[in-house]
Every structure is written in structure tokens, then in C-alpha cells.
């Protein structure tokens, strides 16, 4: 905290004269600039400035992409030189930039507004928009943003006041990309579906260790990102971004997760993101998604300036590499849509132990001393730059896979799940009549719910076994053909083992419990009758009594033995309602 105050005082001394000298048209000076680079605007002021930008340039349109639970418009600025403000039909790149998904981390909002203002007012810079259509969301979590105050980010060095992390309904939007429980995310998915951006950026401020970098980033570079997007990211985009940012005085490094906080030389972990996060969602939509994390201890102005330069460099790179990126996205979409029924898709990965590369990490010195407050070691970051040679632990191996079907079939009554698939841009066909079809599916056992809800849901662990049956499917049941560019989204929602599947988030919680129970005295009578009709049952029962003392000691289990063998036992308990059709069979579609 002391360190934060020192930073703020230094900033006042160093930057005050610069702001006075700045030569901005009063109308288009941003709130952040007028505040001497210390403050970020509230929602109303942000929208008002967006409308000023719209009035300033024919290339800019202010619009809204939805309404929040508290009734505010979700703001969107579109910068489109063709002035059509609709998804382009030519070969221009669509770049989507999200700011304030975590409203306390406002750098992207202030950087974006300054950047767009500068680009549209300078003819030489406006060229950047010849090849790029920019969609800019200055505040994604609008209601959370208006929970405004000085105490929302304990580790962060400015702005003076800021919004709060979660929505008014308590959702962390950067956990909600796939399950999309929040109205804000549903609205965003509609925007994503309509525009299908070629690249998207999600702007944050980090927590964690201290080091020299102002900007760290996350970007899927692993096997979960389909080719050739992965190669374009690794071989073309990242090398260029690294070198231009270094030249700009803002060297970048992958999002810093240390294996050991105090001994950074032990390694930095490269992350592979589940699709609940923006980065992982990009991967399942075959699109690069860049997480930007500015460093919390750097002053607000430095962070905003770093973000502004980064966004500008990315517009330039995307403009230069537009043909390659467009091509890569098209090929990736085609390859994903051509998954072969009967082949395997990797749903889960685990970090492998081996190190494949080292990076020179621009850190600072660090010491510890005993703390009489915590009773533990107190980590004290110094001001001396230290370059550490650090293993980059970035190798992943698949640990779970799913067999790709010809189609998934979701019975007509499971509308919530079908609607969510549609929200992600998945095409749904429908059965033309009630049909009995051969489907593969799963039976779940050993189900354990988390003790506490997380993001409003009790996630669950389970074991599962394959079941193959003829299943009666009602008319109008949803048929999800596996020939879509969104095939990965389908698998990630419908395959239970995937990290953010419907099953994992508890969407199908109604299937696990039995709904009818026998009275013991009824079962006693029925058991005797069953033994009389099938004498072998007595032999099976007796041998189980001999072999299993727990069973023998449990009156309930002994009666259950017989119940499970009656026709009253409900065979659907714990069985996944979603079926997998492995071949077209004689399926009749509307
Ligand atoms: Zn964040």
C-alpha cells in the first residue's frame, strides 16, 4: 500500500506538466486525459465520449449490443471505413476488443478511446482502417462498472476509483464464455455470432508477482488451437508482436504464473485455457483471442499507454497479415467441420513435466524476512532489475478424449441446452417424427458435487461408462450434425469429460436421482415371489451374501438387490439424455 502511494505521488510530480502542455481539442480530450491521467470515466461519461467520436467521424458508429440486468445499454463502437457498420463481405479483418470485462481493470477502455480518437483524426493513421473493421466494447461488465469506488482493487496502482469485478448478478464474465449464464454474455455471444471476428482481445490488469514488464499476455499456442491458426500465431503473429513491442519500449512476456513465487528461476508456467475464459473460448471457435494483462504495480498512465501502443501495433500487424489470417481462419474452420465420425477429439490436456524452452525474464530482486504479522515469510520485491534465465513450462499432453459421432441427439424437452448451443452459433436440425434410433451414450456413477457453488453452480466429478441402446426419441428432438465450424464448441458442451461441459456445470442435475421408492414390506413379498419364479436368483443372492459382508449386513442393500431386478427399477437414472448417433442410420430430419 505504501508503495502504491509513493507511485501515485511520483506520478503527480512527473506527469502534471505533460497534461497541461497537451494540445487536444477540448471536446475530444478523454476524461482520462483531462484528469491528468489519474482517473477513468463512469459509464455515462464513457458513452457520451463514444457519441462524440461518432459525431467526429463518418467511420465511427456508436451502438448497443444488449441490455444489462440493471437496464443499461451494453456499449459498442464500430470503426468501419466502408460506413456499412455490418459484418464485412470483403476480405477485411474484423478485430473485436473487449475492455472492462473486469471493470476494476479499466486500462483497455481508456487506451481504446484515446487510440480511436487519434486514429480517426489523423489521415495518415486512418489508413490502418482500410483493412480492419474494429469493434470496441469500452465496458463489457457495465453494471459491475457502476459499483464504482476507490477500494475495488487492493493491489492496483490507479486509477483513483474504478468498477467492481463481477456483474450485478454476481457473475465473473471471464468464467462465463461457454456456459453463458449471464445476460451480458448471451448478448456478447450474439455479437460474436453475427460478426465472427477474426481476432479478439480481452484487456485486463493482473495480480501476482512483481517484475519489470508493463504488459503480459495470454494466447493459445497449444494443440487445443486448430491448425493453421496455431502456426500463424506461433510463427507469424507472436514474433512480430514481440519485436514491435520491444522496439516501442514495452517488451511483453506470457502471463506470469510462477511455479515458485520466490524462486522465479524454477520456471514460468504457460497456460492452456479452458473455454470458460476468453482465450480458451477463442480456441474452440478457431479464432485467436489475446488476453492482455497489464501489471498492477505500474502506474495507471504507463499501463494505459502500454495498452494503447499494443492495440495500435496489433491493428498494424493484422492489417499487414490480413490475408494470412483470413486464410488460416478459413482453413481452420473447414478442417474443424470435417471431423470424421469415429475419430477421437482431445477434450482435456495436462501440463507435461519436460521443459522445451527458456526465456530471459525481466524480473526484479526479491528477498524475504520473517513476519510477526503473518508468522510466515514476508516477500519483499526490490527495485533492482534482474534478468533471470527461466524455463518456460509450456508443454501439454492430452489426458481425455471423446469419440466423434455423426450427430448428437438432444431430446426435445432439454431446451435450455439446445438454446445455449444455438447461442454459440451451432446449427440445429430437428427429427421429423418420433424415431427409435441406435445411440451410444453414458451412464454416470460416483457423482460428487463440490461442497460450495462456484459461479452460481455446483460443479461435479463423476465416473462414466459407455451404454449403447435403441432409444425412443420424441418428434422435434434436436439433431446436432458434426459438420460445423463450431464442432469444437459442440464437443466441449456435450462431451461430459470436457472441462466446461453441460454435465460439469450441473445442467443435467435432474437425471441422477431416483424418483420412486419401494416400501420394505412390499419388497419382502415381491422378493419371495421372484425367487419362486426364478430359483437361480436364490443362488445368486446367497453367493453375494457369502462374498460381501457389507452387503449381508445391510437390510436396504439386500432388498435393493431384488428391486433392481424388477421391471419397476428406472433404467434411465444416471443415464445421459444426450445420445450419439455414430452413423446416419435412417434418421429423418425436418
Ligand atoms: Zn481481469
Q: At 87, which CATH number?
A: 3.40.630.10
Backbone angles phi, psi at 136, to 5 degrees: -120, 120
Q: Assess whether 57 and 195 both reside in one domain.
A: yes
Q: Assess whether 327 and 459 both reside in one domain.
A: no
- The whole model's pTM is what? 0.92
For residue 343, being part of any structural domain is answered with no
Gap from CA of 156 to ligand 1 centroid (Å): 12
Gap from CA of 359 to ligand 1 centroid (Å): 25
Gap from CA of 171 to ligand 1 centroid (Å): 13
Q: Which three cell numbers stand for residue 23?
A: 494540445
Gap from CA of 312 to ligand 1 centroid (Å): 21
**Confidence (pLDDT) at 353:** 79
Q: Assess whether 166 and 294 both reside in one domain.
A: yes
Q: Cell 508456467 identifies what position?
A: 269
Which residues neighbour 414 within 8 Å (Cβ) at sequence distance 6 or greater? 478, 508, 577, 578
Gap from CA of 292 to ligand 1 centroid (Å): 9
- Cα 37 from Cα 18, distance rounded (Å): 10
Q: With 0-12 CB in 10 A as exposed, 13-18 as middle and 19+ as buried, what is 192?
A: buried
Extract the residue ranges of the chain whose pLDDT is less than 50. Answer: 1-24
Gap from CA of 182 to ligand 1 centroid (Å): 17
For residue 344, being part of any structural domain is answered with no
**Confidence (pLDDT) at 26:** 52
Strand order, beta sheet including 478-481: 429-430, 478-481, 407-410, 579-581, 435-449, 460-473
Gap from CA of 172 to ligand 1 centroid (Å): 9
- Cα 105 from Cα 152, distance rounded (Å): 10
For residue 352, being part of any structural domain is answered with no
Gap from CA of 579 to ligand 1 centroid (Å): 37
Q: Assess whether 551 and 463 both reside in one domain.
A: no
* Cβ neighbour number for residue 556 with a 10 Å cutoff: 9
- Cα 407 from Cα 491, distance rounded (Å): 11
Q: Which three cell numbers stand for residue 205?
A: 490488469
For the chain, the domain total comes to 4
Gap from CA of 328 to ligand 1 centroid (Å): 29
Give the end of a domain, one of 352, 379, 397: 397
pLDDT digit string, tens, across residues 83-95? 999 999 999 999 9
- Among 111, 196, 58, smallest CA distance to 489 is for 196
For residue 170, being part of any structural domain is answered with yes
SS3 499: coil
Rounded to the nearest angstrom, the gap between the alpha carbon of residue 430 and the centroid of all alpha carbons in its chain is 29
Gap from CA of 418 to ligand 1 centroid (Å): 30
Q: Assess whether 413 and 390 both reside in one domain.
A: no
Gap from CA of 178 to ligand 1 centroid (Å): 17
- Where helices occur in 513-554 by DSSP H, the ranges are 520-533, 535-547, 549-552
Gap from CA of 166 to ligand 1 centroid (Å): 10
Gap from CA of 177 to ligand 1 centroid (Å): 14
For residue 217, being part of any structural domain is answered with yes
* Cβ neighbour number for residue 103 with a 10 Å cutoff: 29
Residues with CB under 5 A from ligand 1 (ion): 102, 105, 204
Gap from CA of 225 to ligand 1 centroid (Å): 22
Q: Assess whether 325 and 416 both reside in one domain.
A: no
Q: Assess whether 485 and 529 both reside in one domain.
A: no
For residue 190, being part of any structural domain is answered with yes
Gap from CA of 123 to ligand 1 centroid (Å): 34
For residue 351, being part of any structural domain is answered with no
Q: Assess whether 264 and 384 both reside in one domain.
A: no
- Cα 324 from Cα 326, distance rounded (Å): 6
Q: Which domain holds residue 370?
A: 360-397
Gap from CA of 103 to ligand 1 centroid (Å): 8
Gap from CA of 507 to ligand 1 centroid (Å): 26
Q: Assess whether 427 and 365 both reside in one domain.
A: no
Gap from CA of 394 to ligand 1 centroid (Å): 22
Which residues neighbour 109 within 8 Å (Cβ) at sequence distance 6 or greater? 40, 41, 46, 99, 100, 138, 139, 203
Gap from CA of 341 to ligand 1 centroid (Å): 38
Q: Assess whether 372 and 326 both reside in one domain.
A: no
**Confidence (pLDDT) at 6:** 46
Q: Assess whether 262 and 333 both reside in one domain.
A: yes
Gap from CA of 219 to ligand 1 centroid (Å): 15
Q: Assess whether 206 and 124 both reside in one domain.
A: yes
Gap from CA of 268 to ligand 1 centroid (Å): 19
For residue 588, being part of any structural domain is answered with no
pLDDT digit string, tens, across residues 462-474? 999 999 999 999 9
Gap from CA of 291 to ligand 1 centroid (Å): 9
Amino acid at each position: 500500500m505504501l508503495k502504491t502511494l509513493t507511485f501515485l505521488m511520483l506520478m503527480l510530480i512527473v506527469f502534471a506538466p505533460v497534461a497541461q502542455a497537451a494540445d487536444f481539442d477540448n471536446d475530444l480530450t478523454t476524461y482520462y486525459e483531462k484528469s491528468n491521467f489519474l482517473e477513468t470515466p463512469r459509464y455515462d461519461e464513457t458513452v457520451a465520449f463514444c457519441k462524440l467520436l461518432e459525431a467526429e467521424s463518418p467511420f465511427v458508429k456508436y451502438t448497443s449490443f444488449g441490455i444489462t440486468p440493471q437496464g443499461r445499454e451494453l456499449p459498442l463502437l464500430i470503426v468501419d471505413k466502408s460506413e456499412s457498420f455490418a459484418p464485412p463481405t470483403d476480405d477485411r479483418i474484423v478485430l473485436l476488443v473487449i475492455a472492462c470485462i473486469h471493470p476494476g481493470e479499466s486500462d483497455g477502455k481508456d487506451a481504446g478511446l484515446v487510440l480511436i480518437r487519434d486514429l480517426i483524426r489523423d489521415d495518415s493513421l486512418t489508413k490502418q482502417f482500410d483493412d480492419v473493421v474494429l469493434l470496441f466494447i469500452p465496458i463489457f461488465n457495465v453494471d459491475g462498472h457502476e459499483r464504482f469506488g476507490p477500494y475495488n482493487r487492493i493491489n492496483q496502482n490507479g486509477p483513483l476509483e474504478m468498477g467492481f469485478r463481477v456483474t450485478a448478478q454476481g457473475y465473473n464474465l471471464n468464467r462465463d464464455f461457454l456456459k453463458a449464464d449471464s445476460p451480458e454474455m448471451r448478448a456478447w455471444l450474439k455479437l460474436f455470432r453475427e460478426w465472427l471476428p477474426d481476432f479478439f482481445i480481452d484487456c485486463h490488469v493482473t495480480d501476482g508477482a512483481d517484475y519489470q514488464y508493463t504488459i503480459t499476455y495470454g494466447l493459445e499456442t497449444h494443440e487445443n488451437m486448430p491448425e493453421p491458426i496455431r502456426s500463424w500465431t506461433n510463427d507469424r503473429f507472436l514474433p512480430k508482436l514481440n519485436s514491435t513491442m520491444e522496439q516501442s519500449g514495452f517488451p511483453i512476456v506470457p502471463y506470469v504464473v510462477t511455479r515458485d513465487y520466490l524462486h522465479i528461476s524454477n520456471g514460468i508456467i504457460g497456460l492452456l485455457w479452458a473455454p470458460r475464459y476468453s482465450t480458451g473460448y477463442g480456441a474452440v471457435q478457431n479464432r485467436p483471442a489475446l488476453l492482455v494483462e497489464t501489471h498492477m504495480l505500474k502506474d495507471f498512465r504507463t499501463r494505459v499507454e502500454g495498452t494503447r501502443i499494443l492495440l495500435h501495433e496489433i491493428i498494424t500487424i493484422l492489417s499487414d497479415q490480413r490475408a494470412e489470417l483470413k486464410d488460416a481462419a478459413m482453413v481452420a474452420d473447414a478442417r474443424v467441420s470435417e471431423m470424421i465420425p469415429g475419430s477421437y477429439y482431445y477434450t482435456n490436456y495436462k501440463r507435461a513435466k519436460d521443459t522445451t524452452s527458456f526465456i530471459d525474464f525481466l524480473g526484479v530482486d526479491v528477498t524475504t524476512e520473517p513476519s510477526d504479522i503473518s508468522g510466515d515469510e514476508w516477500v519483499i520485491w526490490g527495485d533492482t532489475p534482474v534478468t533471470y534465465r527461466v524455463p518456460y513450462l509450456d508443454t501439454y499432453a492430452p489426458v481425455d478424449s471423446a469419440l466423434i459421432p455423426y450427430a448428437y441427439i438432444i431430446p426435445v424437452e432439454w431446451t435450455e441446452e439446445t438454446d445455449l448451443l444455438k447461442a454459440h452459433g451451432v446449427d440445429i436440425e430437428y427429427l421429423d417424427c418420433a424415431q427409435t434410433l441406435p445411440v451410444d451414450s453414458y451412464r454416470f456413477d460416483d457423482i460428487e458435487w463440490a461442497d460450495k457453488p462456484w459461479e452460481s453452480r455446483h460443479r461435479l466429478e463423476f465416473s462414466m461408462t459407455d451404454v449403447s441402446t435403441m432409444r425412443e426419441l420424441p418428434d422435434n428432438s434436436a439433431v446436432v450434425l458434426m459438420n460445423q465450424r463450431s464442432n469444437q464448441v459442440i464437443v466441449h458442451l456435450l462431451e461430459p469429460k470436457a472441462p466446461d461441459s453441460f454435465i460439469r456445470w450441473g445442467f443435467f442435475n435432474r437425471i441422477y436421482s431416483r424418483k420412486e421408492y419401494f416400501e420394505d414390506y412390499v419388497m419382502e413379498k415381491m422378493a419371495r415371489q421372484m425367487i419362486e419364479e426364478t430359483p437361480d436368483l436364490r443362488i445368486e443372492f446367497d453367493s453375494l451374501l457369502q462374498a460381501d459382508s457389507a452387503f449381508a449386513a445391510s437390510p436396504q442393500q439386500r432388498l435393493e438387490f431384488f428391486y433392481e431386478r424388477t421391471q419397476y427399477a428406472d433404467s434411465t437414472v444416471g443415464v445421459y439424455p444426450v445420445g450419439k448417433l455414430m452413423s446416419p442410420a435412417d434418421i429423418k430430419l425436418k
